Amino acid sequence: MTDLSLYRYSQEEWDRLAAREATRRRVLQVVLYLLLTVLVILYSMPSIGVLITSFKSNAEISRGGLWSAPAQLNFANYQEAWVNGNVRTYALNSFLVTIPATVLSIALGVLLGYVFSQLPFRGSEALFILIVSGMFFPPQIVLVPLFRLFNTVGLYNTLWPMIIVHVAFGLPICTLITRNFFATVPSALREAAIIDGANEGQILVKVMLPISLPALAVLATLQFTWIWNDFLWPLIFTQSDNSRTIMVGLISLKGQYSVAWGVQGAMSVIASIPTLFIFIFFQRYFISGLTLGAVKG
Protein backbone atom coordinates (compact mmCIF):
# COMPACT_ATOMS: atom_id res chain seq x y z
CA MET A 1 0.00 0.00 0.00
CA THR A 2 2.05 2.88 -1.21
CA ASP A 3 -1.01 4.95 -1.97
CA LEU A 4 -1.35 7.05 1.20
CA SER A 5 -4.73 8.36 0.14
CA LEU A 6 -6.17 4.97 1.11
CA TYR A 7 -5.60 5.75 4.76
CA ARG A 8 -8.28 8.40 4.68
CA TYR A 9 -10.92 5.67 4.63
CA SER A 10 -11.95 4.00 7.82
CA GLN A 11 -12.33 0.24 7.76
CA GLU A 12 -16.09 0.65 7.64
CA GLU A 13 -15.99 2.99 4.65
CA TRP A 14 -13.50 0.76 2.96
CA ASP A 15 -15.80 -2.26 3.34
CA ARG A 16 -18.68 -0.26 1.95
CA LEU A 17 -16.65 0.76 -1.10
CA ALA A 18 -15.58 -2.81 -1.69
CA ALA A 19 -19.18 -3.98 -1.40
CA ARG A 20 -20.30 -1.30 -3.84
CA GLU A 21 -17.65 -2.35 -6.29
CA ALA A 22 -18.73 -5.98 -5.94
CA THR A 23 -22.36 -5.01 -6.56
CA ARG A 24 -21.36 -2.98 -9.59
CA ARG A 25 -19.53 -5.97 -11.00
CA ARG A 26 -22.44 -8.28 -10.32
CA VAL A 27 -24.94 -5.94 -11.99
CA LEU A 28 -22.65 -5.66 -15.00
CA GLN A 29 -22.39 -9.42 -15.10
CA VAL A 30 -26.16 -9.88 -14.96
CA VAL A 31 -26.71 -7.33 -17.70
CA LEU A 32 -24.12 -9.01 -19.88
CA TYR A 33 -25.65 -12.37 -19.12
CA LEU A 34 -29.13 -11.21 -20.12
CA LEU A 35 -27.81 -9.60 -23.28
CA LEU A 36 -25.97 -12.75 -24.24
CA THR A 37 -29.03 -14.88 -23.54
CA VAL A 38 -31.21 -12.74 -25.79
CA LEU A 39 -28.52 -12.90 -28.46
CA VAL A 40 -28.15 -16.66 -28.23
CA ILE A 41 -31.92 -17.16 -28.46
CA LEU A 42 -32.06 -14.94 -31.55
CA TYR A 43 -29.07 -16.81 -32.89
CA SER A 44 -30.73 -20.17 -32.42
CA MET A 45 -34.06 -19.14 -33.95
CA PRO A 46 -33.24 -20.27 -37.48
CA SER A 47 -32.24 -23.78 -36.36
CA ILE A 48 -35.19 -24.08 -34.01
CA GLY A 49 -37.56 -22.89 -36.73
CA VAL A 50 -36.51 -25.66 -39.09
CA LEU A 51 -36.72 -28.28 -36.39
CA ILE A 52 -40.26 -27.40 -35.32
CA THR A 53 -41.51 -26.97 -38.87
CA SER A 54 -40.29 -30.45 -39.75
CA PHE A 55 -42.80 -31.89 -37.27
CA LYS A 56 -45.80 -29.96 -38.53
CA SER A 57 -48.35 -30.93 -41.15
CA ASN A 58 -49.17 -28.56 -44.00
CA ALA A 59 -52.58 -27.91 -42.45
CA GLU A 60 -50.96 -26.93 -39.18
CA ILE A 61 -48.49 -24.65 -40.96
CA SER A 62 -51.19 -22.85 -42.92
CA ARG A 63 -53.11 -22.35 -39.67
CA GLY A 64 -50.31 -21.21 -37.39
CA GLY A 65 -47.47 -20.24 -39.73
CA LEU A 66 -43.93 -21.57 -39.77
CA TRP A 67 -42.80 -20.39 -36.41
CA SER A 68 -45.39 -21.65 -33.93
CA ALA A 69 -44.73 -24.72 -31.80
CA PRO A 70 -46.09 -28.00 -33.21
CA ALA A 71 -49.14 -29.49 -31.46
CA GLN A 72 -47.55 -32.93 -31.47
CA LEU A 73 -44.47 -34.67 -32.82
CA ASN A 74 -45.52 -35.75 -36.26
CA PHE A 75 -43.00 -37.82 -38.21
CA ALA A 76 -45.01 -37.94 -41.44
CA ASN A 77 -42.71 -35.39 -43.11
CA TYR A 78 -39.67 -37.49 -42.34
CA GLN A 79 -41.35 -40.54 -43.76
CA GLU A 80 -42.36 -38.67 -46.90
CA ALA A 81 -38.84 -37.29 -47.42
CA TRP A 82 -37.16 -40.61 -46.77
CA VAL A 83 -39.44 -42.84 -48.83
CA ASN A 84 -40.86 -40.75 -51.67
CA GLY A 85 -38.39 -37.91 -51.72
CA ASN A 86 -35.38 -40.02 -52.65
CA VAL A 87 -33.53 -38.84 -49.54
CA ARG A 88 -32.57 -42.45 -48.83
CA THR A 89 -30.60 -42.66 -52.09
CA TYR A 90 -29.02 -39.24 -51.56
CA ALA A 91 -27.95 -40.08 -48.02
CA LEU A 92 -26.47 -43.40 -49.12
CA ASN A 93 -24.51 -41.63 -51.88
CA SER A 94 -23.26 -39.08 -49.38
CA PHE A 95 -21.92 -41.85 -47.14
CA LEU A 96 -20.38 -43.64 -50.13
CA VAL A 97 -18.49 -40.45 -50.99
CA THR A 98 -17.72 -39.12 -47.52
CA ILE A 99 -16.35 -42.22 -45.80
CA PRO A 100 -13.81 -43.36 -48.44
CA ALA A 101 -12.76 -39.77 -49.16
CA THR A 102 -12.24 -39.06 -45.44
CA VAL A 103 -10.20 -42.22 -44.89
CA LEU A 104 -8.09 -41.85 -48.03
CA SER A 105 -7.34 -38.17 -47.58
CA ILE A 106 -6.10 -38.85 -44.05
CA ALA A 107 -4.05 -41.90 -45.13
CA LEU A 108 -2.31 -39.99 -47.93
CA GLY A 109 -1.92 -36.90 -45.75
CA VAL A 110 -0.18 -39.05 -43.13
CA LEU A 111 2.34 -40.23 -45.73
CA LEU A 112 3.12 -36.65 -46.75
CA GLY A 113 3.20 -35.44 -43.16
CA TYR A 114 5.65 -38.20 -42.27
CA VAL A 115 8.06 -37.33 -45.06
CA PHE A 116 7.87 -33.58 -44.35
CA SER A 117 8.48 -34.03 -40.61
CA GLN A 118 10.78 -37.08 -40.38
CA LEU A 119 12.48 -37.36 -43.76
CA PRO A 120 12.94 -33.75 -44.90
CA PHE A 121 15.08 -33.18 -47.96
CA ARG A 122 16.32 -30.19 -49.91
CA GLY A 123 13.27 -28.39 -51.21
CA SER A 124 10.79 -30.29 -49.06
CA GLU A 125 9.83 -27.12 -47.21
CA ALA A 126 8.87 -25.43 -50.49
CA LEU A 127 6.91 -28.51 -51.55
CA PHE A 128 5.12 -28.48 -48.20
CA ILE A 129 4.12 -24.84 -48.62
CA LEU A 130 2.95 -25.50 -52.18
CA ILE A 131 0.68 -28.27 -50.95
CA VAL A 132 -0.63 -26.39 -47.93
CA SER A 133 -1.49 -23.32 -50.01
CA GLY A 134 -3.96 -25.53 -51.85
CA MET A 135 -6.18 -25.04 -48.82
CA PHE A 136 -6.79 -21.46 -49.89
CA PHE A 137 -7.52 -22.03 -53.58
CA PRO A 138 -11.08 -21.18 -54.50
CA PRO A 139 -12.28 -24.38 -56.19
CA GLN A 140 -13.60 -22.31 -59.12
CA ILE A 141 -10.03 -22.26 -60.40
CA VAL A 142 -10.12 -25.92 -61.38
CA LEU A 143 -13.81 -26.30 -62.15
CA VAL A 144 -13.65 -26.22 -65.94
CA PRO A 145 -10.58 -28.46 -66.40
CA LEU A 146 -11.86 -31.05 -63.91
CA PHE A 147 -15.28 -31.05 -65.57
CA ARG A 148 -13.54 -31.77 -68.87
CA LEU A 149 -11.21 -34.36 -67.34
CA PHE A 150 -13.97 -36.44 -65.75
CA ASN A 151 -16.10 -36.16 -68.86
CA THR A 152 -13.24 -37.42 -70.99
CA VAL A 153 -12.50 -40.43 -68.80
CA GLY A 154 -16.20 -41.28 -68.56
CA LEU A 155 -16.61 -40.73 -64.83
CA TYR A 156 -19.08 -37.84 -65.12
CA ASN A 157 -22.27 -38.53 -63.19
CA THR A 158 -20.68 -41.20 -60.98
CA LEU A 159 -19.52 -40.89 -57.37
CA TRP A 160 -15.84 -41.23 -58.35
CA PRO A 161 -15.09 -37.60 -59.24
CA MET A 162 -16.32 -36.43 -55.85
CA ILE A 163 -14.24 -39.03 -53.97
CA ILE A 164 -11.10 -38.26 -55.99
CA VAL A 165 -11.46 -34.48 -55.76
CA HIS A 166 -12.19 -34.54 -52.03
CA VAL A 167 -9.12 -36.68 -51.37
CA ALA A 168 -6.91 -34.33 -53.39
CA PHE A 169 -8.37 -31.16 -51.85
CA GLY A 170 -8.16 -32.75 -48.38
CA LEU A 171 -4.41 -33.29 -48.70
CA PRO A 172 -3.42 -29.74 -47.64
CA ILE A 173 -5.16 -29.81 -44.27
CA CYS A 174 -4.28 -33.48 -43.60
CA THR A 175 -0.63 -32.87 -44.44
CA LEU A 176 -0.48 -29.71 -42.33
CA ILE A 177 -1.98 -31.28 -39.22
CA THR A 178 -0.09 -34.60 -39.40
CA ARG A 179 3.23 -32.90 -40.13
CA ASN A 180 2.80 -30.54 -37.20
CA PHE A 181 1.78 -33.40 -34.93
CA PHE A 182 4.63 -35.70 -35.98
CA ALA A 183 7.06 -32.83 -35.44
CA THR A 184 6.13 -32.78 -31.74
CA VAL A 185 6.99 -36.47 -31.27
CA PRO A 186 10.36 -36.74 -29.44
CA SER A 187 13.04 -37.90 -31.87
CA ALA A 188 14.29 -40.38 -29.23
CA LEU A 189 11.30 -42.61 -30.03
CA ARG A 190 12.24 -42.78 -33.67
CA GLU A 191 15.95 -43.27 -32.96
CA ALA A 192 15.19 -46.14 -30.57
CA ALA A 193 13.08 -47.81 -33.25
CA ILE A 194 15.87 -47.41 -35.81
CA ILE A 195 18.35 -49.02 -33.42
CA ASP A 196 15.89 -51.87 -33.00
CA GLY A 197 16.10 -52.33 -36.75
CA ALA A 198 12.76 -50.83 -37.76
CA ASN A 199 12.42 -49.33 -41.23
CA GLU A 200 10.50 -46.12 -42.05
CA GLY A 201 7.29 -48.00 -42.82
CA GLN A 202 7.41 -49.80 -39.49
CA ILE A 203 8.20 -46.60 -37.61
CA LEU A 204 5.20 -44.90 -39.19
CA VAL A 205 2.76 -47.73 -38.49
CA LYS A 206 4.04 -48.98 -35.13
CA VAL A 207 5.47 -45.87 -33.49
CA MET A 208 3.91 -42.77 -35.01
CA LEU A 209 0.33 -43.76 -35.79
CA PRO A 210 -0.54 -45.23 -32.35
CA ILE A 211 0.41 -41.98 -30.62
CA SER A 212 -1.24 -39.83 -33.30
CA LEU A 213 -4.78 -41.00 -32.67
CA PRO A 214 -5.92 -37.61 -31.33
CA ALA A 215 -4.61 -35.85 -34.46
CA LEU A 216 -6.26 -38.48 -36.66
CA ALA A 217 -9.54 -38.00 -34.79
CA VAL A 218 -9.31 -34.25 -35.36
CA LEU A 219 -8.82 -34.82 -39.08
CA ALA A 220 -11.59 -37.39 -39.29
CA THR A 221 -14.15 -35.02 -37.77
CA LEU A 222 -13.02 -32.10 -39.96
CA GLN A 223 -12.86 -34.02 -43.20
CA PHE A 224 -16.15 -35.82 -42.62
CA THR A 225 -17.89 -32.53 -41.94
CA TRP A 226 -16.51 -30.64 -44.97
CA ILE A 227 -17.07 -33.50 -47.38
CA TRP A 228 -20.55 -34.31 -46.14
CA ASN A 229 -21.57 -30.66 -46.35
CA ASP A 230 -20.04 -30.03 -49.75
CA PHE A 231 -22.35 -28.67 -52.40
CA LEU A 232 -20.18 -27.51 -55.30
CA TRP A 233 -18.59 -30.76 -56.52
CA PRO A 234 -21.78 -32.82 -56.68
CA LEU A 235 -23.42 -29.88 -58.44
CA ILE A 236 -20.74 -29.93 -61.13
CA PHE A 237 -20.15 -33.67 -61.46
CA THR A 238 -23.61 -35.21 -61.16
CA GLN A 239 -26.70 -34.98 -63.21
CA SER A 240 -29.12 -37.74 -62.27
CA ASP A 241 -30.80 -38.65 -59.01
CA ASN A 242 -28.88 -41.92 -58.68
CA SER A 243 -25.57 -40.19 -58.20
CA ARG A 244 -26.59 -37.06 -56.31
CA THR A 245 -25.42 -36.53 -52.78
CA ILE A 246 -27.72 -35.19 -50.13
CA MET A 247 -26.87 -31.49 -50.26
CA VAL A 248 -27.57 -31.21 -53.97
CA GLY A 249 -30.51 -33.58 -53.66
CA LEU A 250 -31.96 -31.26 -51.06
CA ILE A 251 -31.99 -28.39 -53.51
CA SER A 252 -33.33 -30.39 -56.42
CA LEU A 253 -36.18 -31.67 -54.26
CA LYS A 254 -37.10 -28.12 -53.34
CA GLY A 255 -39.04 -27.76 -56.56
CA GLN A 256 -40.97 -30.95 -55.99
CA TYR A 257 -41.94 -29.93 -52.46
CA SER A 258 -42.08 -26.20 -53.05
CA VAL A 259 -45.15 -25.74 -50.88
CA ALA A 260 -44.55 -28.65 -48.51
CA TRP A 261 -42.56 -26.72 -45.91
CA GLY A 262 -42.66 -29.53 -43.41
CA VAL A 263 -41.07 -32.00 -45.82
CA GLN A 264 -38.39 -29.45 -46.72
CA GLY A 265 -37.67 -28.98 -43.03
CA ALA A 266 -37.45 -32.73 -42.48
CA MET A 267 -35.00 -33.03 -45.39
CA SER A 268 -32.79 -30.31 -43.94
CA VAL A 269 -32.79 -32.00 -40.55
CA ILE A 270 -31.96 -35.43 -42.02
CA ALA A 271 -29.13 -33.91 -44.08
CA SER A 272 -27.65 -32.36 -40.93
CA ILE A 273 -27.88 -35.39 -38.61
CA PRO A 274 -24.43 -36.89 -39.35
CA THR A 275 -22.56 -33.62 -38.81
CA LEU A 276 -24.70 -32.78 -35.77
CA PHE A 277 -23.70 -36.18 -34.40
CA ILE A 278 -20.05 -35.19 -34.76
CA PHE A 279 -20.78 -31.80 -33.27
CA ILE A 280 -22.36 -33.38 -30.20
CA PHE A 281 -20.04 -36.30 -29.56
CA PHE A 282 -16.69 -35.22 -31.00
CA GLN A 283 -16.92 -31.48 -30.44
CA ARG A 284 -13.53 -31.32 -28.74
CA TYR A 285 -11.75 -32.78 -31.76
CA PHE A 286 -13.72 -30.74 -34.25
CA ILE A 287 -13.02 -27.48 -32.46
CA SER A 288 -9.31 -28.15 -32.06
CA GLY A 289 -9.19 -28.98 -35.76
CA LEU A 290 -10.82 -25.66 -36.60
CA THR A 291 -8.28 -23.77 -34.55
CA LEU A 292 -5.25 -25.83 -35.63
CA GLY A 293 -5.74 -25.56 -39.32
CA ALA A 294 -8.28 -22.83 -39.23
CA VAL A 295 -8.25 -22.20 -42.89
CA LYS A 296 -11.26 -24.01 -44.28
CA GLY A 297 -14.93 -23.65 -43.52
Measure the CA angle with vertex 176, ends 174 and 182; round to 5°: 95
Residues 173-192 that bind other proteins (CB under 8 A): 175
Binder to other proteins among 91, 101, 106, 131 (CB under 8 A)?
131
Ramachandran angles phi, psi of 90, nearest 5°: -60, -45
| Least Cβ distance, residue 194 to other proteins (angstroms) | 9
Is position 276 an interface residue for other proteins (rule: CB under 8 A)? Answer: yes
Distance CA 149, CA 132 (A): 23
* Minimum CB distance to other proteins smaller for 12 or for 49: 49
Q: Is 278 in the site for other proteins (CB under 8 A)?
A: yes
Neighbours of 128 (CB within 10 A): 20
- Binding residue (CB under 8 A) for other proteins from 228, 237, 257, 285: 228
Q: How far is the CB of 12 from other proteins (least distance, A)?
A: 25
Task: Give me the least distance between CB of 20 and other proteins, in Å please.
Answer: 17
Among 18, 139, 189, 211, binds other proteins (CB under 8 A): 139
Rg (CA), the chain: 27
Q: Establish if 44 lies at the interface with other proteins (CB under 8 A).
A: yes
**Contact region for other proteins (CB under 8 A) — 5-13, 73-81, 95-103, 128-136?**
128-136
- Closer CB to other proteins, 16 or 148, in the complex: 148
Q: Which stretch binds other proteins (CB under 8 A): 10-18, 39-47, 182-190, 206-214?
A: 39-47
- The answer to whether residue 76 forms part of the interface with other proteins (CB under 8 A) is no
Least separation in angstroms between residue 30's CB and other proteins is: 10
Residue 189 contacts by C-beta under 8 Å, 6 or more apart in sequence? 207
Q: Does position 81 bind other proteins by CB under 8 A?
A: no
Alpha-carbon span 178 to 180, nearest angstrom: 5
Could you say which of 27, 36, 71, 192 contacts other proteins (CB under 8 A)?
A: 36
In the complex with other proteins, the residue whose CB is nearer, 47 or 84, is 47
- Pick from 1, 2, 8, 121: which binds other proteins (CB under 8 A)? 121
Q: Which of 72, 199 has the CB closer to other proteins?
A: 199
Q: Which is nearer to other proteins, 12 or 294 (CB)?
A: 294
**The one among 2, 46, 59, 186 contacting other proteins by CB under 8 A:** 46
- Using the rule CB under 8 A, which residue among 74, 89, 157, 268 binds other proteins? 268
